[in-house]
Each structure stands twice: as structure tokens, then as C-alpha cells.
A and B are shown apart, each in its own frame.
Chain A
């Protein structure tokens, strides 16, 4: 049996000593996708940050790729790619240079060719030589997403990847994520998009201030739709 990409057992997450939601338990196997769904402020992003080692666990255990989370290990960073809600860029580096930095920093040999493909795929080819300050917020979001795919990875963690994307790009992202799981990668994402849950995910963790439960993707999408509508 393959080692789970993520195994969380009764994990309490939060800032300081106060947990932001009830204990979270779920398992994400390779080649599958799990969504974290729930209202704003329910703790989805906090769970993601804990899985990435950017926040310590308050209780319980999290294992990523069979080992306790430790983002200080180079191997952890080599295998786990994350696209969070960061909006920070080197002001003097172009779009292409940001992607090249990521690809080469992970040892990709044909980095320039790889970057050219990603620029095309994420609709940034016309902005390859642009500085981040000249991009719209949607274009900057696409740059961050492209960086997540510019490097090798076993686990891809995304925090609301649908934000600031138009319908066409959301569809393309869903296709990309399906390809990711088909290639054996694992995807963990927090989202408010019921379509993304339905199209990409196998199951979902519904995070709520009263309870956390693992539900089928269809049920999670229906719950999101009820809140949205």
C-alpha cells in the first residue's frame, strides 16, 4: 500500500494556544484530491498552513509523505508545492524570471522550455517580460499558480486557487489538477468553488466551528452551493 500524501489525526490548528476549529482528521492518498470546504474564517487556510509546517500543531499529528511535517527539510520542500494567498514578488524580476527561478531552484534542467510552456498554458505569454507591478491581480494570481506547476512535486497544496480567475482559466485549472492526480500526484485544496470540488476532488473535509467531517465531493459541492445561493 502506498504511503499517504497527508495523514492528519485529530489535529488541532490555530494561532497561539486557541484552536480555530474542532480537531481535523483525514487521509489523502497519492493520485487523489481532497478539498477543504467551509465558511470564511472556519479554519481551512489554517489547516493548510499547518500541513505545510508554517504553523505548529496545537495537538494531534500530521504526517506528510509518511513523515512528520518539517518544512526545514529540503526534501519536504522538494516534494511539497504550495500556492497560498501570497501576493509578493521581486519587483525587478519579470514574470518569466520568477518562473525560471522556481524551476531552476528545484533543479529542472530544461527550465527555459518548461517556463515557456507554462506561460502559454496560464495565459501569460504576452506578459513574460513584464514586471509584477504591471500585472493585474488576476495575472499575478496566474503567475503564482504557474509557479506551483513549474517544479516537480508529489503533493500540491492550493489555497482557494479559483480566486481572481475567470471562467475559462478555472476550467483550465480543473483540467490541470485532474491531470495532476492522473499522474499520481496528490492535491489538497481549500475552495469555495463547487464546480472545482465536483470536477477535481474525490472527497472533501467540511470544516465548521462546531464539527469537522469528511464528506463525498458531491455532498460538499451541494453544501457550498446552498451557502452561495
Chain B
């Protein structure tokens, strides 16, 4: 076969020299100087160290504040070490799910177009990409385990060091295992699904242990032999993966790189909705799927609600999120050391937000493509209210289970707590929909200078949409949990505030009433001043 070549061709360069050229060419023009790199590294290290220190201090304070374990364990309950173990299993599942969705070996955008088409050794090109996620996961896992182990379990010294090392190596092993699955040509959604199932298995296992009364009261601290064994496993996985990198098809590497780039952009711009879309799109089944018959559609309103229901039914990730959100507060109420008003309140707050958010995916997609809402012959406010139906139903079920468990914990009348569950469910739905429809963060807005740096008010104002309703309109619920009792005034106040939350979330104005009033006043002021001046 004739090769068309206008110039003489020699040997193909090594992959490393391609990577170096790509990195060094900009430096030759004064971009990306070493000083700037060292500055970034310094800032990152200091930030991580300060964050870890603050986190450790907070968790140790928590440990001091926690009551001692009961001398006689309750018949239905969990010890703190088991809770930590459950958290770690869930975190491992989350990491596996994330690694599966991200690839984890990816080269998107420019690297895919300009590198992967070269006849240089692909293994050398992909080596940094393959190392990136394990290297990031390892210190994150070490920090998490250090916080939990030192803060909640009181581990110190060599035991703490070994636990952190095993966590770091274990996290790297999880990511490397996901990469091996990718290199074997298996679909990423299989890895992601395994991680999701592990995330559900953690609280389910904990619930089984709590009910059976077979939960252990302590966690073993890993010995050096375990550290060495896990290190050997990591080394073996890394070696096998490295040998397989050259056989990774460009299409999987491109797909993974594209998802990683989208996810990174979402993180940098603090857009959790875009992050969710990136991670969900990563494991979509390619090609066509059977269309739902949409039997419940009777008109535009039921079409919208049915579409939201179908979306929730098809999203494994959100169903998993929902399952975990149901179990977490229930479990917290049966852990003697966590089942304080503050512990239960925090669990309800976090899990409630997660449950309602899981059911509001339809609203999030509609925010990205406004034509979806405009295509229906419905008023904008009606559309917003209809978008609250599915999150509302989910929140109702979640609240009934959760506040039922809270009723058992508070030893109060179950019916009172169930009435409060019904009264408070609309707030969760309203908050989820308000958060889903929030505009993109406004980074060009005013800055407020603080001792910790500049705060972009525009971005913060946008990010607070949704959580503001949870904080303010669920005050009666927080009071009820705080005093472990439900009263008629509390329920009445909750009903009123739920109506307010629905009204606020139905609004299609991007800015709040106060902001609009302020702007209107500012627009009017120069005109008035000018008139006065002219007079």
C-alpha cells in the first residue's frame, strides 16, 4: 500500500517526549512558570493541611461531646465502631461508583484528538491519566479514616497511622480495580452499579445487625501485616493495569475523558446539577430503550408528573440515594451515642435533602432545557408546582418512615409525628425544586472582602436557593426534634410555613423579592436625583 508522505519519516518519538512537548511548549512563552506551579502546590498543601486540622479538631470536639456507650447495650441498637464501619463501606461504594462513572482512565478533548491518534505507545500516553484518580483517592481516604478513627473511635499513634495507610491503599485499590474492569472492555455502568449496590448494602447491613443484635462493639485496628498485604495488592493491580493500558480502545478513553472534563467543569463552577448530569450520562445505556407507555397521561399536567416519575424510575443512582436517605436517620436513632437531638436533627436534615433531591431530576433537566416546560400549555407557576408533585410524594414517604423512627426514639405518640411528617413534606419538595431551578452562579457579581478572602455574593446567593427553605420553613420540625415532642402550635406553624415554601418555590423570578425591590429602588434613585438636579 502506498503511503502518502511529502517529507522523510524517521522513528516515532516516545510517549514521554510527546507529553513533555505538550507541557513545555507553553512554558517557553512564559506561561505556566515553575514559580506559579510551586505557588499553586504550596496553596493546595496548606489548604489541605488547614482543612484536615480543622476537621480533626471538630471531630475530636464531637467525641468529647458524645455520651459514653451504655454499659448494657440496648436490644436494638448499633455501636459507634459499627457506624464507622458502615460509613467506610458506603464510602468505598461511592468511590467505586464514581470511578466507574469517570472511567477511570480517560483522555478527553484535546488529548483524545491530538494524542490518541499518534502511533506512539498508548501506554506511555495514558500512564498519568491512569495514576490521577488513585493518587487523588488515596489521600482523601486517609484523611477520612483519620478523622473518623481519631475523632470517633479514639485511635492514636501507630494504630491510627496503620488505619490511615490501609485506607489510602484500599482506596487506590478500589480505583485500580475499576480501571482493570474498564481495560477488560466491560461497560462502565456495571462498575457504577456495583458501587451503588455497595452503598445500599452498607446501611441495609447495619439495619440487619441492629435488629439482630449481633453487631460487634469494637473494630479491629489493622496490623502492619495488613498494611503490607494491601500494598502488595495495590502494586499487583497497578502492574496489571499498566500492562493493559496500551490495549485500551480510544472510544472508552474518549468517553471517560469527556465525562471527567464535564464533571470537573461542574465542580469548578460549583454547579451540582451539572455534576449530576455528567455522572448520570456516563452510565446511560447506549442506543434505544423501550418507550414507556405513559398510561397515566391524561393531559399536560399528568404528562409532566408522569415524565418525572419515569425519570426517577429509570435512574438507579437516585433510587439508591433514596434508599440510603431512608435508612440513615433510622439508623442514627438506634445508635445510643448519636441519638441525641442534635445527632437526629443533623441526620434528618442531610437525609431529607438527599431524598427530595433524588426525586427532582426532572426539574433539573428542565432547568437546563427550558423548552421542556414551555412546550406544555401550562402557566409557569403551575409547571413549578407540578414539578413538586413527585419530590413531594417521595418526601411524604420518606418523612413518614423517618419521623416514625424519630417517634420511637422520642417515645412520643406516633400519630403526632406522622401528622408533622405530612405537614413538613411539601417544604422538602419545594426546596428541591427551588434548588433545581436556581440560575447559574453569578461570578461577576459584587465581592465582599473577609479575613478568609473575597466572597462572591452573586454565587453565594444562588447557591443558597433551596437550602434557605429547608433552614427557615422547617423550623417547627427542628424545634420538635430538639424538644423531642410534637405540639399543636408546632404542626400549625409547619402547615403555614409549608404553604409559604410552596409559594416561594412556585415563583419563576430568578431574583428574590428583596433583591428586586432593591434593584427597583436603585433604578428609580438616579432618575429622581437627576430630575432634582435639573430643577
CA distance A160 to B115 in the complex (A): 22
Chain B residues near A81 (CB-CB < 8 A): 117
- State which of B241-249, B327-335, B445-453 sits at the interface with chain A: B241-249
* Chain B residue with Cβ nearest A97: B25
Interface residues of A in 89-137 (CB under 8 A from B): 89-94, 97-98, 101-111, 113-114, 117
Any B CB within 8 A of the CB of A17 = yes
Q: Is the pair B8, A54 in contact by a Cβ cutoff of 8 Å?
A: no
Contact digits for B102-139, partner A, Cβ 8 Å, 1 yes 0 no:
00000011101111011111100000000000000000
Q: Is the pair A101, B120 in contact by a Cβ cutoff of 8 Å?
A: no
Chain B residues near A71 (CB-CB < 8 A): 249-250
- State which of B284-292, B347-355, B432-440, B520-528 sits at the interface with chain A: B284-292
A196 to chain B, nearest CB (A): 19
Q: Is the pair B12, A106 in contact by a Cβ cutoff of 8 Å?
A: yes
Q: Is the pair B4, A154 in contact by a Cβ cutoff of 8 Å?
A: yes
Q: Is the pair B4, A185 in contact by a Cβ cutoff of 8 Å?
A: yes
* Chain B residue with Cβ nearest A118: B6
Any B CB within 8 A of the CB of A223 = no
* Chain A residue with Cβ nearest B125: A105
Interface residues of B in 216-267 (CB under 8 A from A): 246-251, 254
CA distance A106 to B288 in the complex (A): 39
CA distance A16 to B32 in the complex (A): 42
Any A CB within 8 A of the CB of B7 = yes
From the candidates A30, A55, A93, A147, name the one contacting B1 in the complex (CB within 8 A). A30
B241 to chain A, nearest CB (A): 15
Any B CB within 8 A of the CB of A41 = no
Any B CB within 8 A of the CB of A216 = no
Q: Is the pair B287, A16 in contact by a Cβ cutoff of 8 Å?
A: yes
Chain A residues near B118 (CB-CB < 8 A): 77, 102, 105-106
B115 to chain A, nearest CB (A): 8
From the candidates B9, B11, B22, B251, name the one contacting A54 in the complex (CB within 8 A). B251
Q: Is the pair A102, B249 in contact by a Cβ cutoff of 8 Å?
A: no
Tell whether A93 pairs with B287 under 8 Å between CB atoms, given A88-B109, A108-B7. Answer: no
Any A CB within 8 A of the CB of B18 = yes
Any B CB within 8 A of the CB of A53 = yes
Any A CB within 8 A of the CB of B26 = yes
* Chain B residue with Cβ nearest A94: B25
Instruction: Tell me which of A3, A18, A79, A105 has the highest count of chain B C-beta atoms within 10 A of its own C-beta.
Output: A105
From the candidates B3, B12, B25, B250, name the one contacting A53 in the complex (CB within 8 A). B250
Q: Is the pair A101, B114 in contact by a Cβ cutoff of 8 Å?
A: yes
Any B CB within 8 A of the CB of A167 = no
Any B CB within 8 A of the CB of A194 = no
Tell whether A153 pairs with B114 under 8 Å between CB atoms, given A77-B119, A78-B119, A93-B26. Answer: no
From the candidates B7, B12, B248, B285, name the one contacting A72 in the complex (CB within 8 A). B248
Q: Which 4 A-B pairs have the closest CB atoms?
A: A16-B287, A184-B2, A152-B5, A92-B26
Residues of A within 8 A of B (CB): 2-3, 5, 14-18, 30-31, 53-55, 65-66, 71-72, 74-75, 77-79, 81-82, 86, 88-94, 97-98, 101-111, 113-114, 117, 147, 152-154, 156, 180, 183-185
